[in-house]
Amino acid sequence: MRVFWVLIFILIFLVSCMKDPKAPIWIDPVDTLLLNHQNLHFKTENLDWKAFLRTEIQPISIPWTYSHGILSLSLKDISGIVEGPADFSFIYKDKSYDYSFYLKNPSGIKLIHRDYRSPKDLNPDSNLEQQKIVHQIDIYRNLKELPNKDSLFEETWIQLKPKVATYRAIANLPLSSFYVQAGSAVNIPVQSKYNPIKEGYDIQIGPLKDRIGNLVSDGTLLSLDYGDGLFSYHLETTILEGYAHAFIFAKRKNKFTLQVKVNETASEIIRLNP
Amino acid sequence: MRYVMIFLALLFFSFFFLLGKTTETFQEKPVFTRVDSLALNHNSFVDIHEIRVKKVNYPNDFQQNRFRNDYSNLWAHLNDLYSTNSVEEGKEYYTEDWFKNICLTYKNPIYTGYTREDHEHHLYIKNWSWDGLVCDLIDSNAVFSYHNSQKLTKIAKVNLAMVLLLQGDHWRIDAIKILDQKIIYPHSKRP
């Protein structure tokens, strides 16, 4: 029984002697830590520490080694850091110790240029003004200041050339494509010729151009309305490379009046005469 | 005859057994059936200040409300990421590039005991794209409080710049820059 009480006493004594672990001492402290895979050293007792690098975005578990009272943190495998205020945190049971500093990536990290354009489809009929939002980020998602400027973002409105084409805001990024489409036709030249072999009129329409001089888009629907005073007829065709062709039967050498329409634009009334 | 019947019965049950083996059970539910409890239980104060200094497109009320809501949800997930490094939780609010980047250092979720809460945001929308898909903003004097497993460790006012893109159903974070952090509690000598 006495042995039991002695054991209890020793146990109580040991528990009362247990202290909080001493805070590790950072041997080579810095205000700004450049993440270039150097090791960092802390003087501490060898305990079962959990070590974290905590940025404002995420905590990262760091492996460490211990020898001769010095705990070394290895930052070898760490990359992809969002720069900013950060901490090293040591946790042992419910005790934790923090060491604050400013974390930076080493220089020479690849930058990505972002150029967002909108609207992406432009038409000379209405507007060729386009919004351009520019910023620059590195591959680790850190926003960087624009070169030769004192700001992070830039927005401009630019006037595009009216030439029909597919353009890219960033040359090697197909997602940044935008388009200048052809506008609608401003006038409709029509030529006709009687073909005695086929017994009808060969009609050639074109070239159809918008107000800038671009050829009107392929596939635009054209409607031909013609009549001989007694009956009226309707014919439709589409444009290919600025031109359209049609054929009107006239077996009895009928005379017609013809008008061609594209959307809101109409040609002059033409008399077809063999 | 009996053996034939037993054989057929075996064939019949083994068919269902093997069918069960080959059917893959995909654990993750589609987005629209999931309940984002982290975002639901989070409601930070997001104030959008209007600045019309140049020819700027400005979000209308509907877009602003949606943006406010998504921004609050984004911070619910960023706070969770700060605490646990569970990258998948908030992936509805991260762009692909951002998600890939936070996975670079990811091994598994960890318990640090450190948490962060965001209290207020004052947004200055610098650029809002004409098609409403890109937003550059400055979050000025955002107030954050930081806790470790035992107590409140600090309160800080943070200025940050952010790029958000509207992809899918949400505004997603694409890039960030922490401009400065001013510690207002504890009132220590540290600048």
pLDDT given for residue A238 in this prediction: 94
Sites in chain B below the pLDDT cut of 70: 20-25, 51-56, 188-191
Mean local confidence (pLDDT), A19-38 = 83
Q: Which two tokens stand for residue A82?
A: 């969002």
Does A29 lie at the interface with B, CB-CB under 8 angstroms?
A: no
CATH of domain A190-272: 2.60.40
Chain-chain contact of A140 with B131 (C-beta, under 8 angstroms): no
The answer to whether the CB of B61 falls within 8 A of the CB of B41 is: no
Say whether pLDDT at A142 is over 90: yes
pLDDT given for residue B57 in this prediction: 73
Beta bridge partners of A270: A258
Does A142 lie at the interface with B, CB-CB under 8 angstroms?
A: yes
Say whether pLDDT at A86 is over 80: yes
The answer to whether the CB of A79 falls within 8 A of the CB of A141 is: no
Instruction: Give tens-digit pLDDT for A221-252.
Output: 999 999 988 999 999 999 999 999 999 998 88
Which DSSP state fits A123?
Answer: B
CA of A58 vs chain B CAs: smallest distance (Å): 4
Beta bridge partners of A17: none
Residues from chain B that touch A140, judged by Cβ atoms under 8 A, are 101, 104
Chain-chain contact of B104 with A116 (C-beta, under 8 angstroms): no
Does A94 lie at the interface with B, CB-CB under 8 angstroms?
A: yes
pLDDT given for residue A219 in this prediction: 93
Does A160 lie at the interface with B, CB-CB under 8 angstroms?
A: no
Cα(A13)–Cα(A196) distance, rounded to whole angstroms?
124
Chain-chain contact of B177 with A59 (C-beta, under 8 angstroms): no
Q: Which two tokens stand for residue A81?
A: 């850091």
From the list A58, A119, A137, the residue facing B85 with the nearest CB is A58
Chain-chain contact of B105 with A82 (C-beta, under 8 angstroms): no
Return the sign of the alpha-carbon dihedral for residues B132, B134, B137, B143.
Answer: positive
Confidence of residue A13 (pLDDT cuts 50, 70, 90): low
Nearest 5°: the CA angle B69, B72, B74 is 110
Q: What is the percent of chain A where pLDDT is above 90? A: 60
Out of 3.10.450, 3.40.1710, 3.90.320, 1.10.260, the CATH code matching B43-185 is 3.10.450
Q: Work out the end-to-end distance of chain B between its first and last CA atoms, rounded to an integer number of angstroms.
A: 92
Say whether pLDDT at A18 is over 90: no
pLDDT given for residue B112 in this prediction: 87
Instruction: Report the candidate in A189, A168, A176 with the shortest Cα–Cα distance to residue A242.
Output: A189
Mean local confidence (pLDDT), A185-211 = 92
The answer to whether the CB of A158 falls within 8 A of the CB of A132 is: yes
Q: Which two tokens stand for residue A207?
A: 């070239």
Query: Which residues make up the CATH 2.60.40.10 domain(s) of chain A?
Result: 12-104
Mean local confidence (pLDDT), A158-166 = 92
What's the full length of chain A, in residues? 274
pLDDT given for residue A20 in this prediction: 67
Overall fold of domain A12-104: Immunoglobulin-like (2.60.40)
The ranges assigned to domains in chain B are 43-185
Does A109 lie at the interface with B, CB-CB under 8 angstroms?
A: no
From the list B107, B110, B161, the residue facing A152 with the nearest CB is B161
Mean local confidence (pLDDT), A181-204 = 92
Confidence of residue A115 (pLDDT cuts 50, 70, 90): very high
Which one of B134, B144, B158, B179 makes the best mutation probe of the A interface by having the most chain A beta carbons within 10 Å? B134
Residues from chain A that touch B134, judged by Cβ atoms under 8 A, are 116, 118, 133
Confidence of residue A254 (pLDDT cuts 50, 70, 90): confident
Mean pLDDT of chain A: 89
Distances (CA, A) of A67 to A62, B117, B187: 17, 38, 37
